[in-house]
Structure 1
Amino acid sequence: MKSAGITISGLTVGYGGPPVLDQVSLQVRPGGTTAVLGPSGSGKTTLLRALAGFVRPARGRIEVDGKVLTGGQVLVAPERRGIGYVRQDGALFPHLDVTGNILFGLPRVERRRADQVGPLLELVGLSPSLARRRPDELSGGQQQRVALARALAREPAVVLLDEPFSSLDTALRAATREATLNALTARGATTVLVTHDQAEALSFADQVAVILDGRLAQIGSPAEVYDAPATPEVGRVLGDTMLLAGRADSRVVNCVLGTLDLAEPATGEVLVMIRPEQLVLGNPSGPAARVMSVAYHGPEAMVRLGLPDATTRLVARVPGHHAPQPGDTVHLTVPAQVRSFPKKHPHTSPDS
Structure 2
Amino acid sequence: MSGAGISVTGLTVGYGGPPVLDHVDLQVPAGSFTAVLGPSGSGKTTLLRAIAGFIRPDHGRIEVRGEVLTDGPTLVAPERRGIGYVRQDGALFPHLDVTGNITFGLPRAERRRAAQVEPLLELVGLSPSLARRRPDELSGGQQQRVALARALAREPSVVLLDEPFSSLDTALRAATREATRAALAARGATTVLVTHDQAEALSFADQVAVMFDGRFAQVDSPAGVYGAPATPEVGRFLGDAMLLSGQAIGRTVHCCLGQLDLAEPATGDVLVMVRPEQLVLGEPSDTKASVSSVTYQGADAMVRLDLVDQTTRLVARVPGNRVPRPGDQVGIAVPAPVRSFPQR
2:84–2:156 CA contact under 8 A, matched in 1: yes
Aligned residue number for residue 251 of structure 1: 251
Post-superposition shift, 1:321? 2.1
Q: Which residue of 2 aligns with 1:342?
A: 342
* Pairing 1:92-103 to 2, within 5 Å after superposition: 92-103=92-103
- In structure 1, the residue corresponding to 2:236 is in which secondary structure? helix
Counterpart in the other structure of 2:200:
200
**Is 1:61 aligned with 2:50?**
no
What letter corresponds to residue 338 of structure 1 in structure 2? V
Q: CA deviation at 1:309?
A: 3.6
Give the drift of 1:268. 0.7
1:151 and 2:151 matched: yes
CA contact (8 A) 1:300 1:317 kept: yes
Aligned residues: 343
Which residue matches 1:348? none
Query: 1:222 corresponds to which letter in structure 2?
Result: P
Equivalent position of 1:138 in the other structure: 138
- Taking the aligned partners of 1:58 and 1:265, their CA distance within structure 2 comes to 42
Give the corresponding residue for 2:316: 316
The separation in 2 between residues aligned to 1:199 and 1:46, in whole angstroms, is 22
Contact 2:90 2:144 in 1 (8 A): yes
Shift of 1:16: 2.1
CA distance in 2, matches of 1:240, 1:16: 37
Q: Aligned ranges for residues 182-221 of structure 1 at < 5 Å?
A: 182-221=182-221
TM-score normalized by the length of structure 1: 0.96
Cα distance, 1:163 vs structure 2: 0.7
The one-letter amino acid paired with 2:85 is Y
Deviations 1:183-211 (A, max 9, x none): 00000000000011111111101001011
Paired with 1:309 and 1:189, the residues of 2 have a C-alpha distance of: 56
Aligned to 1:260: 260
8 Å contact from structure 2 (residues 161, 191) kept in 1: yes
Equivalences for 1:1-352 in 2 at 5 Å? 5-344=5-344
Amino acid at match of 1:124: V
Q: Residue type matched to 1:55 in 2?
A: I
What is the distance in 1 between the residues matched to 2:318 and 2:43? 34
Which amino acid counterpart does residue 185 of structure 2 have in structure 1? T
Deviation at 1:283, TM superposition (A): 4.7
CA apart distance, 1:286: 4.4
Q: Is the CA contact 1:252–1:265 (under 8 Å) kept in the aligned structure 2?
A: yes
What amino acid maps onto 1:149 in structure 2?
A
Encode CA deviations 1:126-164: one digit per residue, 9 max, x unaligned: 000000000011111100000000000000010000011
Aligned to 2:27, the other structure's residue is in SS state strand
AA in 2 matched with 1:103: T
CA shift for structure 1 position 81: 0.6
Give yes or no for contact 1:286–1:333 (8 Å, CA) kept in 2: no
Letter in 1 for 2:341: F
CA 1:13–1:288 in structure 2 vs 1: closer, same or farther (change >3 Å)? same
Q: Structure 2 counterpart of 1:168, which letter?
A: L
| Deviation beyond 4 Å, 4+ runs, structure 1 | none
Tell me: CA distance 1:16–1:288, structure 2 relative to 1, closer, same or farther (3 Å).
Answer: same
The separation in 1 between residues aligned to 2:145 and 2:283, in whole angstroms, is 48
SS of the aligned residue for 2:321 comes to: helix
1:207-230 Cα shifts (integer Å, max 9, x gaps): 010111110111111111111100
Cα displacement string for residues 71-97 of structure 1 (whole angstroms, at most 9, x for unaligned residues)? 110011111110000001111111000
Counterpart AA for 2:271: L
**What is the CA-CA distance between 1:327 and the residue it aligns to?**
1.2
Q: Is the 8 A contact 2:257 2:332 kept in 1?
A: yes
Between 309-318 and 60-69, report the one with greater CA deviation: 309-318
* CA–CA separation in structure 2 for the residues paired with 1:276 and 1:192: 30
Does the CA-based 8 Å contact 2:284-2:329 persist in structure 1? no
Measure the CA separation in 1 of the matches of 2:309 and 2:115. 70
Shift of 1:325: 1.2
Give 1:349's aligned residue: none
- For 1:147, what is the secondary structure of its paired residue? helix
Q: TM-score, normalised on structure 2?
A: 0.98
Structure 2: segments with no counterpart, 5+ residues: none
CA deviation digits over 1:55-84, x for unaligned, max 9? 111100000011111111001111111000
- Report SS of the residue matched to 1:322: coil
Percent same amino acid among aligned pairs? 80
User: CA separation in 1, counterparts of 2:105 and 2:259?
Assistant: 61
